[in-house]
Amino acid sequence: MLELKLQLRYNLPMWFVLLITSWLPDNKLIFKLRGWLAGFFMKKCGKNLQLGKDVTLLNPFNLEIGDNVYLAKGGWYNALGGLVFEDEILCAPYVVISTMQHVYKNDSFRFGGSTAAKVVIGKGSWLASHCSVKCGVTIGKSCLVAANASVVRDVEDRSIVGGVPAKFIKEVEEGKASIYNKIDLLNNGKQ
């Protein structure tokens, strides 16, 4: 009975929202619309969630998202074990985060069952394209996970990690931006 309630309250409505918005173009307005609609079917959703096209959000009843989070096209997120995105997170295209892991038993992973563990992504972090995060991992605040990295251990605040498995590269350093939106880019080109 509980499974049916979870399907009807969270999973099916989330699937429907993502389905009906999948034909819309990826732009800032649609990102916000898709995020706003999906937010009704999560455990917790802050303001200004932006979702790209083809994002998969499994088990949203255990998904907590803070303010100003952006999940780009093609990301795959399984929140069954508990998934927390703190504020100001950027996930580039095709990021994979699973809070579940298969167990090897009787010479097989197929019927060995699973374990679940919460994943937390700290405030201000950026997960670059095609990276993956294993169940039970906490990524600290202001971290950068490099493209194609596989994070299997906790990451300390302000760290840049990369590789398979991901290893510490260096500490994040403050930078200076010249572009904050398309208008800035167009204006910089005319100077």
pLDDT in tens, the chain (191 residues): 888 888 888 899 999 999 999 999 999 999 999 999 999 999 999 999 999 999 999 999 999 999 999 999 999 999 999 999 999 999 999 999 999 999 999 998 988 889 999 999 999 999 999 999 999 999 999 999 999 999 999 999 999 999 999 999 999 999 888 888 778 778 865 65
CATH fold of 2-190 reads UDP N-Acetylglucosamine Acyltransferase; domain 1 (2.160.10)
Residue 159: strand pairing partners: 171
CB-based contact 188:181 (threshold 8 Å): no
Q: Please, what's the largest Cα pairwise distance for the chain?
A: 67
pLDDT tens track for 96-150: 999 999 999 999 898 888 999 999 999 999 999 999 999 999 999 999 999 999 9
- What is the rounded CA–CA span in Å between residue 105 and residue 24? 44
Classify residue 151 by its DSSP letter. E
Q: What is the pTM of this model?
A: 0.91
- What is the rounded CA–CA span in Å between residue 83 and residue 32? 21
The 10 Å Cβ neighbour count of residue 190 is 5
Sequence spans of domains, the chain: 2-190
